[in-house]
Each structure stands twice: as C-alpha cells, then as structure tokens.
Amino acid sequence: MLALSGGAPVRTRPFPSWPVWDHTDEEALLEVLRSGMWGLGGSKVPEFENRFAAYHGAKYGVAACNGTVTLQVALTALGVGPGDEVIVPGYTFVATGAAVLHVGAIPVIVDIDPDTYNIDPEAVRSAITPRTKCIIPVHVGGNPADMDAIMALAEEHGIAVLEDAAQAHGARIGGRGVGSIGHIGSFSFQATKNLNAGEGGILITDDEELAALCRAYRNCGRFGGAREPVLGWDFRLTEFQAGLLLSQMNRLEEQTRLRDENGRYLAEQLRTVPGIRPLKRLDSVERHAYHLFIFRFSAEEWGVSLDLFIEALAAEGIPCSRGYVPLYRDPLFVTSGQSCPAAWPGLPNSLEQRAYRRMHLPNAERASEEAVWIPHYVLLGSRDDMDDVVEAVRKLYNHREALAKARGSGKAKRYAGLEG
C-alpha cells in the first residue's frame, strides 16, 4: 500500500544529512577565533580566494558575503547600468533577475532548453539588441549550460558573459571548470549549496582589471589607496566563513565526484520508468555538480498530478519538492511597478513595457509544471540509497491507479532551501 495512504514507506532510514562536518571544521573555526583576526587583514579570505579560483581554473577570486551581491558587483564592474539590457533565463532563482534590477538594468528573460532547463542559446540570439550588455547563463541544478554556444554569440556581438554558478561548484564542461569560461563567474556558499559556510559567495575571473574592480566594489569602493575610490559597498566575507570554507573544501572534490557518479546512475535507472525523464547533460559535460537531481514527471502518462506524485514520493521517504516557477511569475516581476528601487526613476516604465505579466515562455512554463527536484545530499549516499529512490518511484508507478484516487493535501511544497 502507498505510504501516502498509510502503507509502509520504501525508505525509513534517513539519507545523508547536510552539512557534513567534523573536528577539522571545529579546529578551523577555533583557529580563526584564537587568532583575533576575525575580519579585514586576516589570511583566510585571500587563501580561500586563491584556492577556490585555482580549483575552477581561474586566476583571481573575490569573495563576498553572498552569491546575490556577487552578481550585483560583477554587473557593476562590467559597466552594466541603467538602460542596459541583461539576458537571463526564465528558470532560475530570483536573485539572478534581482541583481540586474539592483544595478538599474533591464532583465530580458528568455526561454530555456526543454531537455536541460538551461538557457537556450537560440533564444539568447533572438533577444540580442544594441542595448544588450551582458548574458547570465545559470548552470541550473549544477548541470553546465551550453557555454560554447553562448561564448560564440557573446564574442560575435561584443557582449559580456557572467556565469551564475551558484549551484555548480566543481562542475566541468569542455575541459574547463564552470565560472572560468565566461568573463566572470559567480558562486554562492549559502547553507543549502554544495559548498557552504551558512552564507557567502565568490567571483572568479582571469581578467586582472575586472578582479580589481570587483575587489574595490566589495570593499567600500577602495583600491587600497592605489587609485581613486569608486562608489562601492561593504560586501566582505568574514575570516570565520573563509576558514570554514577552506576546511569544507577538503571534501568538495570527493563529494562532487560521488554526486556525479550517483546522479548518472540514478538517471540511468529512472529513465526506465515510463513517464519519468531525467534532464539531459550535454556530451561536453565532464562533471555535473548535481546541486539538484531534476527529472520530468509526465502527469498525462501517469494520470496523476505532479503535486500528488511529489507528496506520495515524500511519504515513501524520498526528499523531494517542486522547483521554480518561471522567473517572470515571481512577485518581483508581477508587481514590478511597485517593487523596483525608487533610485531608478526610469525603470518602472521600461519594466512595464516589458510586460512580464503577459509573458509566456513555453519551456519555462512546462518546467514549472513537470519538474521534480531531489536535493544534492541524497546523492551523497550509497548505491543502495539510489536503488531505494528508484524503488519508491517504481512502487508509485505500479500503484498509479490507487495513487490517482488517493487524497493528498493537494499542494506539494516548492523547494524551501532556496525560497527562504
């Protein structure tokens, strides 16, 4: 019997929990505490910046207090400002769009590839105008976007590329680490992310001047006396966070490898269940970071609603949730006239003209109605753990007629970790 209707769940043991830590992390934090250098002037932030940038194959790293302001700093350093257009995907966390609004620019929201949920290069091409200053591909769920196609377009039109790699630590495509392929890349260390210090973020780049600008914008606009200051912010990371990130990073390679291996296996297995379609990875992807394991669920083929499926899968003991709504349906855009910063008087009108309220991107809409997300820590388990996920999905499929008649609350949860 279905666990949703009072039967025994497939899975009663918990999956690995997140975050993972031990005495080495305790020692890293205590080392900072005892040093008395808790902020500016300590050695942990620069050490972490160098190590994280090098790990992804970039020359410079600029750490900051989260992965939203890193986007804002990068856009500012790239010279993006009022009136400029920035192309963003229709399936992402709201911060990708909010950062564009914060610098006074206009988010031009384009559709995604239905098989990867990443920004569709053809949709980007159609959206380019003389005002386009930047493209922000997002590596959704840790699955690298089609960077070859995006870099080719950007080069052709002289546009900057800012990779939002907030979910893709350690992912690799075409022989390169994500974040180091575009002109600049941004990561987040927020509590749910694959590398975590509660909060935090970093920018990586090979461009020395861009790195210097980002460093200044993060640090109250100061260049350390070397040049005239700019109008910046205090978006600095603390030494405690950098110390913890350094010790957490000791596990990143192994954890990333494990997620990728389990993710591939899970995709292979789930693909054999009718109406279950894991997202595609491009052939050039060497490593998927699997911040999320995402698959498409066909309500038509099962005769079961997505909400009921997710509730029933959760009842079987598998952590899962719905995913994003299309970006333009976020309240930020639906009510854009009111919620945009008053600092940019021209903005509400131009946003109004964009008519986010009437926007309809078929693939983003569909993703919002068919996607099931399983969080990354499930993939830190064993092969047996993966088999339990598959068994739970198979069980639901075999009982789909009973499931169609079962009663749920009618509303499955959206991913709390990213919406909080």
Residue 214 CB, nearest approach to ligand PLP (Å) = 16
Residues 301-334, buried b or exposed e (16+ Cβ, 10 A)? ebebbbbbbbbbbbbbbbebbbbbbbbbbbebbe
- Contacting range for ligand PLP; rule: CB under 6 A; set: 14-22, 65-73, 146-154, 205-213: 65-73
Total residues in contact with ligand PLP, by rule CB under 6 A: 15
Among 64, 68, 147, 153, binds ligand PLP (CB under 6 A): 68
Calculated CA dihedral for residues 76, 80, 82, 83, nearest 10 degrees: -170
- Contacting range for ligand PLP; rule: CB under 6 A; set: 44-52, 72-80, 159-167, 206-214: 159-167
Which of 312/371 has CB closer to ligand PLP?
371
Altogether, the residues listed in the chain come to a count of 420
Binding status of residue 188 toward ligand PLP by CB under 6 A? yes
Binding status of residue 373 toward ligand PLP by CB under 6 A? no
Residue 23 CB, nearest approach to ligand PLP (Å) = 27
Q: Are 195 and 206 in contact (CB under 8 A)?
A: no
Q: Which of 44, 59, 133, 193 is catalytic?
A: 193
Q: Closest residue (Cβ) to ligand PLP? A: 67
Binding status of residue 92 toward ligand PLP by CB under 6 A? yes
Residue 193 a catalytic site member: yes
Q: Are 301 and 328 in contact (CB under 8 A)?
A: no
Secondary structure letter of residue 296 according to DSSP: E
Q: What are phi and psi of 149, to 5 degrees?
A: -65, -40
Among 72, 76, 116, 190, binds ligand PLP (CB under 6 A): 190
Binding status of residue 118 toward ligand PLP by CB under 6 A? no
CA of 169: how far to CAs of 35, 36, 163, 287, 301, in Å? 29, 30, 12, 10, 35
- What's the CA gap between 270 and 293, in Å, rounded? 11
Q: What residues line the site for ligand PLP (CB under 6 A)?
A: 66-68, 92-93, 95-96, 138, 164, 166-167, 188, 190, 201, 418
Instruction: Just list the catalytic residues.
Output: 193
